[in-house]
């Protein structure tokens, strides 16, 4: 096992008693783009059957997460480019999973390090869907932000072009509107982001829903306070109990994730990513504090390490998270 190689010996670490959580849906990841930048690390973690995750509020507190197929009910991937993962998907044959693939109309002024959407990312989405099936390839057109360049009309044209390219390759599109956070406020102000009024927003949402529908795609919203159901857009859950049950063929016992915003309908999951490690460089990002911090952390990346962008040291306190499947009973979705 690689954990006993130089640099990975954790014998001197303080190992605490097991945590009480039994949430075994894995989020990979809200904090960074694991499929795009850390797929080799992730596959190594799957092979070894565990991962270490630092508490973002206390870096010395580390959780050991069991990744064995017997306790992981489903893995939810979040990415803007899953292509680096595609060649290794056979290594996940024993697992249930789905991808949330963010594909928008922004250029490199907003999404700095994402390849060309029409020429490269739409074909990647099609390739992913062909491998895993359209139900497990969820399209995200989010967050939607409005500027002098990225007007409602611009978004509708971009959304239509992408939807036509994904016709037959996905069943669902999730939208959301840009929110301000401490980490992205400066960037959002610099690009001149503005909000639509209520009536204009409703009209915009209705057109999004109609475009999606014409391409065989159902539109949903992510963590939005506004009710868009009259526009044909239902509240959506990214960590979606109904979708997960349909994929795994079992009912699961799960509660709403209390760590998310009140508007968020996601069920509880275990996050295995790390903040300040995403190299996509998106202006609206809430997961990175600064480019300098990202570069510093990325310099610590080692695909053999059990923790993302770092190493376990003798000062770390490791808690072994109690593992347990959330499955209730076998059911048929036929």
C-alpha distances in Å from residue 229, one per residue of 171, 209, 287, 315: 18, 10, 29, 51
Residue 20 placed within a domain? yes
Where the chain has pLDDT below 70, the residues are 1-23, 180-184, 323-324, 329-334
Residue 196 placed within a domain? yes
Residue 334 placed within a domain? no
- Per-residue model confidence (pLDDT) at position 325: 73
Residue 224 placed within a domain? yes
Q: How far is CA 127 from the centre of its chain?
A: 19
Q: Rounded CA gap, 320 and 298, in Å? A: 26
Residue 332 placed within a domain? no
> What is 17-47 written as a DSSP string?
EEE-----EEEE-SSS-HHHH-HHHHHHHHH
Beta-carbon contacts of residue 59 (< 8 Å; ≥ 6 apart): none
Domain that holds residue 307: 2-327
Q: Cα angle at 29 between 27 and 32, to 5 degrees?
A: 165
β-bridge pairing 50-55 and 58-66: antiparallel
Domain count, the chain: 1
- Its pTM stands at 0.89
C-alpha distances in Å from residue 179, one per residue of 40, 203, 209, 304: 32, 20, 21, 36
Residue 333 placed within a domain? no
Task: Give the tens place of pLDDT for each residue, 60-117.
Answer: 999 999 999 999 999 999 999 999 999 999 999 999 999 999 999 999 999 999 999 9
Q: Rounded CA gap, 46 and 280, in Å? A: 24
CB 125 within 8 A of CB 35: no
């Amino acid at each position: 096992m690689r954990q006993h190689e130089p640099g990975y010996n954790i014998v001197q670490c303080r190992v605490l008693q097991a945590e009480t959580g039994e949430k075994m849906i894995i989020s990979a990841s809200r904090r960074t783009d694991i499929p795009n930048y850390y797929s080799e690390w992730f596959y190594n973690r799957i092979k070894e059957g565990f991962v270490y995750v630092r508490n973002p509020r206390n870096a010395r507190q580390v959780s050991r997460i069991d990744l064995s197929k017997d306790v992981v009910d489903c893995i939810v991937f979040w990415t803007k480019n899953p292509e680096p993962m595609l060649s290794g998907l056979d290594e996940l044959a024993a697992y249930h999973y789905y991808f949330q693939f963010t594909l928008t109309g922004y250029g490199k002024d907003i999404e700095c390090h994402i390849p060309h959407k029409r020429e490269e990312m739409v074909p990647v989405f099609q390739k992913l869907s062909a491998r895993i099936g359209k139900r497990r390839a969820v399209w995200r057109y989010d967050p939607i932000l409005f500027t002098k360049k990225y007007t409602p009309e611009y978004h509708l044209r971009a959304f239509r072009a992408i939807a036509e390219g994904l016709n037959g390759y996905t069943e669902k599109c999730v939208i959301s509107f840009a929110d301000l956070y401490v980490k992205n406020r400066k960037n959002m102000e610099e690009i001149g982001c503005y909000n639509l009024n209520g009536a204009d927003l409703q009209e915009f949402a209705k057109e999004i829903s109609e475009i999606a529908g014409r391409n065989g795609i159902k539109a949903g919203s992510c963590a939005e306070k506004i009710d868009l159901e009259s526009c044909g857009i239902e509240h959506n859950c990214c960590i979606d109990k109904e979708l997960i049950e349909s994929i795994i063929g079992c009912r699961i016992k799960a509660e709403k994730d209390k760590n998310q915003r009140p508007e968020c309908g996601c069920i509880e999951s275990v996050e295995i990513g790390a903040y300040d490690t995403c190299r996509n460089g998106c202006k609206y990002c809430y997961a990175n504090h600064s480019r300098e911090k990202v570069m510093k952390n990325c310099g610590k990346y080692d695909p053999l390490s059990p923790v993302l962008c770092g190493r376990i040291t003798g000062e770390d306190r490791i808690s072994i998270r109690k593992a347990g499947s959330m499955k209730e009973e076998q059911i048929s979705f036929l």
